[in-house]
Amino acid sequence: MARDILVFYGSYRSDRQGIKLARWIVAALQARGDNAELIDAKVIGLPILDRRFSDYPAGEAPAPMAELADRIAAADGFLFVTGEYNGGLQPGLKNLVDHYLTEFAWRPAAIASYSAGPFAGVRSATAWRTTLGAMGMVVTSTPLSLARIGGAFDADGQPAGEDGGRIAKAFPRFADDLNWWIDAAAEQRAKQDPPY
C-alpha cells in the first residue's frame, strides 16, 4: 500500500544545503513505493505568520495557504527535514508549520535533522519533537541525523563519504518506523473517530 507522505523543508538561505537531504529523502521514500512530496517553505512562500489558515472564514484564505491545507489534511504522515539555527528551530520551517494546526492532527511525523558541523542538528530535532507533539502528531522514535551536510552528498545528490554512508545506512529503519506508525494510525482511524 502506497502511503502519502509530505516532506517539509524550511531553509530560505541562498546556498541551502539541507535541500539535498530533503530531495534525497523524497526519492528514497518513492523508491520504497510510497508517494512522497517535497513541501519547500521557500517555494510555498507564505508570509510571516499573521493569521493561521483556521483564522480565515471558509473560502477566504489565500490560495497557496488553502491548497497546502488540503494537501496536509489528505496526507497519511509527515517528515520534517530541519537544520539547526543557533541551537534552535529553523525559522522558515516553523513559520510554515505554524499556519496550520488541526490539519496535522492524528497522524505520525518523523524528524530528519542536519547541521554543517558535527552535532547533526540534534538540538533542533529535540525542539521539533515538542512542537509536533503539541500539534497533535505522534513523533516516531527513530532519529535520522546528518552531520557535516556540506560533504555528505555527491554532485548527483546521492549520499557520499562517511557521513553520507551513515545516513543511507540509517534510512531504512527510520522509514520503517514512520511507515509502521502511518499504518497503525490509519487502522485506528478506520475503527474509531479521533477523540476530539
Q: How far apart are CA 129 and CA 137, in angstroms?
A: 9
Q: How far apart are CA 26 and CA 45, in angstroms?
A: 20
- The answer to whether the CB of 144 falls within 8 A of the CB of 170 is yes
Is the CATH number of domain 4-191 3.40.50.360?
A: yes
For residue 38, the cross-strand partners are 7
- The answer to whether the CB of 119 falls within 8 A of the CB of 84 is yes
Q: How far apart are CA 17 and CA 87, in angstroms?
A: 17
pLDDT by residue for the chain (196 residues), tens digit each? 899 999 999 999 999 999 999 999 999 999 999 999 999 999 999 999 999 999 999 999 999 999 999 999 999 999 999 998 888 889 999 999 999 999 999 999 999 999 988 889 999 999 999 999 999 999 999 999 999 999 999 999 999 999 999 999 999 999 999 999 999 999 999 999 888 7
Quote the radius of gyration of the chain (alpha carbons, Å): 16
Residues in the chain: 196
Q: Residue 182: what residue type?
A: I
Q: How far apart are CA 96 and CA 42, in angstroms?
A: 9
| Residue 16, burial from CB neighbour count under 10 angstroms (0-12, 13-18, 19+) | middle
- Kindly report the pTM of this predicted structure: 0.96
Cβ within 8 Å of residue 149, ≥6 positions away: 17, 18, 20, 21, 114, 115, 116, 163
